[in-house]
Amino acid sequence: RGVGSGFILSADGFIMTNAHVVEGAEDVIVTLTDKRELKARIVGADKRSDVAVVKIDVTGLPFVKIGDVNRLKVGEWVMAIGSPFGLDNTVTAGIVSAKQRDTGDLLPLIQTDVAINPGNSGGPLINLRGEVVGINSQIYSRSGGFMGISFAIPIDEATRVAEQLRANGRVIRGRIGVQIGQVTKEVAESIGLGQPRGALVTGVEKDQPAEKAGVEAGDIIVKVDGKPVDKSGDLPRMVGGLKPGSKATLQVYRRGGVKDLNVTIAEFEAERPTRRAAAEPGGSAPQVAKSSLGITVSDLTDALKRELRVRGGVRVDAVDGAAARAGLREGDVILSIDNTEIADSKQFTAAASKVEKAKAVSVLVRRGEWTNYLVIRPTR
What residues are annotated to the active site? 20, 50, 121
- Using left for φ > 0, alpha for ψ between -120 and 50, and beta otherwise, residue 163 falls in alpha
* 72 closest CA partner among 6, 128, 137: 128
Rg (CA), the chain: 25
CA–CA separation, 280 and 88 (whole Å): 60
CA–CA separation, 230 and 195 (whole Å): 10
CA–CA separation, 58 and 324 (whole Å): 66
Bridge partners (DSSP) listed for residue 15: 8, 54
List, in order, residues 6 or more apart from 341 with CB less than 8 Å away.
255, 311, 312, 335
Look at the alpha carbons of 166, 139, 151, 173 in this order and tell me if their dihedral is positive or negative.
negative
| CB-facing half-sphere around the CA of 306: CA atoms within 13 A | 4
CA–CA separation, 189 and 195 (whole Å): 7
SS3 61: coil
